[in-house]
Structure 1
């Protein structure tokens, strides 16, 4: 099963997908920063947009977002999904594309995954395997 925004058969995204995703990310971040969306949840929440992934046909895009501090995550996602048609219209004014992708919003879990990997690397089991002879501070 593939995720929205990823290519079939695990292929990496094309340069066009990456470029469109980055243009959408910048425009979406600007819209959220300026407070153009009239929603009480989004008016008080500071939301970052680390990544936007577009499908190969550029008809759909998934915006990965994270509220500052990771608080009120469910409310922010619900508010963004409630206002996605308005956001799509605002993006159409800022980004010139033949078709504006249909947006979906998801929580960015890359920070959690990074923390999990960091905890694994600091675990006693890994420290035991990386003894002084395997790359510790011995010469």
Structure 2
């Protein structure tokens, strides 16, 4: 009988939870901002994990700097992750900025502006 969620999905989900805890408790770097792990996508062979993050309260340059710093710290983060997860092989971590939150906020602003314009426009009879 086929499982509803494959091994990749289970590993990705667990890795997301553990990465959040590692960044919150184990990585003590003042250069990192408030980082949220949005999604972890693991390849079929579990060799590479793409970690999509969001950095709150940072400008564009700050977001890039945080992602670059995370990629530089990935061996340390990976080591901490290996202590927490019961896997023989821990995936290589590659951090990417997830701009879906920014896109969603922009769409929300545009819809709000459109709604305000419709309210200001007089009804045609």
CA distance in 2, matches of 1:39, 1:89: 16
CA distance in 2, matches of 1:31, 1:111: 23
**1:33–1:46 contact (8 Å) kept in structure 2:** no
Aligned Cα root-mean-square deviation (Å): 2.2
37, 40, 43: which one aligns with 1:55: 43
- Structure 1: 5+ residue stretches without partners: 1-13, 125-139
Structure 1 position 22, deviation (Å): 1.0
The runs of at least 4 aligned residues of structure 1 exceeding 6 Å deviation read none
70, 81, 87: which one aligns with 1:97: 87
**What's 2:11 paired with?**
20
CA distance in 2, matches of 1:117, 1:58: 35
User: SS in structure 1 opposite 2:31?
Assistant: helix
TM-score (norm 1): 0.68
**What's 1:78 paired with?**
68
CA distance in 2, matches of 1:88, 1:106: 15
Cα-to-partner distance string for 1:12-50 (whole Å, 9 max, x where unaligned): xx622111111111111001111x2243312xx221101
CA distance in 2, matches of 1:97, 1:123: 50
- Structure 2: 5+ residue stretches without partners: 115-125
